[in-house]
Amino acid sequence: MMLAPQPQLSGQVVTIQDGYPGIQQTIRAMRNLVQQYRTNIEIRQVATQAVFLTPQKNDYAEIEAIFNLVQTGIRYCKDIHQVETLSTPTMTLAQRLGDCDDQATLLATLLESIGYPTRFVIAAYNQPGMYEHVYIQVYCHGEWVDLDPTEQQGIGWAPPGAVSIAVEAV
């Protein structure tokens, strides 16, 4: 049996508000992680290694390489029961697992480390305003393109059936 990587874990407990204010607080924390880690040398090295063999100045190929790295290299794993957790991009890489917010944060961080603007998209599926899922959009050739690394779908695919969607203002 193969065991998962076992990096040294650390963290802090933060109280998150209920409802939509808590969702906004989580998205702000995710954006802060992207801004903090997009200049991290480990993150930049992973991103540049991923795009190294793509054609030069081919934005779509670079985005696809980073997307495939996260989609196939990071296993989906739920948070602790009834506890929202958020991992740093380097911890998600080290563990090679995370839920939708961890994967979205890692994907956005990797893309921003090589020059692609991103924004978070949150979606509700059962009740409007009760957001359950997050993925990202990347700005490429004048348009925002959906990227959901937690599903085995390609670039441009967004999870169907949302009853409400909110997009991070950038």
The beta-carbon contacts of 149-154 under 8 Å, at least 24 apart in sequence, are 149/67, 149/70, 149/71, 149/74, 149/103, 149/104, 149/107, 150/71, 150/76, 150/99, 150/100, 150/103, 152/71
Task: Identify the band that residue 14 occupies on the pLDDT scale cut at 50, 70 and 90.
Answer: low
Stretch 100-117: mean pLDDT: 98
Give the tokens for residue 151: 């599903």
pLDDT digits (tens, 9 = 90+) for 28-73: 999 999 999 999 999 999 999 999 999 999 999 999 999 999 999 9
pLDDT confidence of residue 144:
98
Sequence-ordered list of residues with C-beta below 8 angstroms from that of 40, at least 6 positions apart, any chain: 89, 90, 109, 113
Domain covering 19-167, topology: C8orf32 fold (3.10.620)
pLDDT digits (tens, 9 = 90+) for 138-161: 999 999 999 999 999 999 999 999
pLDDT digits (tens, 9 = 90+) for 67-96: 999 999 999 999 988 888 999 999 999 999
Task: Identify the band that residue 132 occupies on the pLDDT scale cut at 50, 70 and 90.
Answer: very high
pLDDT confidence of residue 1:
64
Q: Model's pTM, two decimal places? A: 0.93
